[in-house]
Amino acid sequence: MARILKDYPAVSLKPEGLDGEIDFVRIFGRSGPVHIEIGIGRATFLLNQAMAQPQVNFLGIEWAGKFYRYAVDRIGRWALHNARIIRIDAAAFLADFVPADSVECFHIYFPDPWPKRNHRKRRFFCPANLEQMLRCLKPGGNIKIATDHADYFEQIQATLTAQSRRLEEVEFLPTAGADRGEWVGTNFERKYLKEQRPIYTIAVRKI
């Protein structure tokens, strides 16, 4: 029997409640470093990392309704006070609501590669969205990316290289939930490793 998914108002942010730039201190009820994960899936990374770093405030963005509901229920059941989730278009959220110099790290793990050539314009990682992330990042803030899709990774590398005056590559360290041989320990990564797909990772820091 499928579990009934509950909404937890303390976890789920509602887009209709946003009015201009958000105040992370108000959202989390405290000050602290802010990490944003774009495309959280079932919130495996978010759950593990929020437990491992209780001093960090984690905000997860997910557009797919079924993943969003599952993630809210999962985070809510664990009663994690340093994690929030919102269902909204990530590009619009960054552009319209995230203040400049407010984010310590962006996490982007196994984003939809939109593999068909005529669909590639839908990929999240592009020059315009990178520009927004750079605006939102604090100096010294990081962007961490993992994907199994070689073509998308080439596009990501080229987009980052074009901003080489503002970014420097740094070591990609495995996340808290990663087992041996894994980078981030998400459901997608474990599925792809079983299929023996190569995993591509990169991390950069805002100069």
Please tell me the predicted confidence (pLDDT) of residue 108.
Answer: 98
Please tell me the predicted confidence (pLDDT) of residue 12.
Answer: 96
Distance separating the N- and C-terminal Cα atoms of the chain = 51
Please tell me the predicted confidence (pLDDT) of residue 1.
Answer: 56
User: Is the pLDDT at 175 greater than 80, yes or no?
Assistant: yes
Please tell me the predicted confidence (pLDDT) of residue 115.
Answer: 84
Mean pLDDT of the chain: 96
Closest C-alpha to 32, from 92, 103, 101, 108: 103
Contacts of 199 (CB under 8 A, 6+ apart): 146, 147, 148, 183, 189, 192, 193
CATH architecture classification, 22-206: 3-Layer(aba) Sandwich (3.40)
pTM above 0.85, yes or no: yes
Domain boundaries, the chain: 22-206
Confidence band (pLDDT; 50, 70, 90) for 116?
A: confident
> What is the average pLDDT across 184-202?
96
Each residue's pLDDT tens digit, 28-55: 999 999 999 999 999 999 999 999 999 9
Residues annotated as part of the active site: 112
User: Is the pLDDT at 120 greater than 90, yes or no?
Assistant: no
| Phi, psi dihedral angles at 4 (to 5 degrees) | -80, 120
Confidence band (pLDDT; 50, 70, 90) for 114?
A: confident
What is the percent of the chain with per-residue pLDDT over 70, rounded to a whole number?
A: 99
Residue 63 burial (CB < 10 Å; 0-12/13-18/19+)? Answer: middle
How many Cβ atoms from other residues are within 10 Å of residue 144's Cβ?
21
> What is the average pLDDT across 195-204?
97
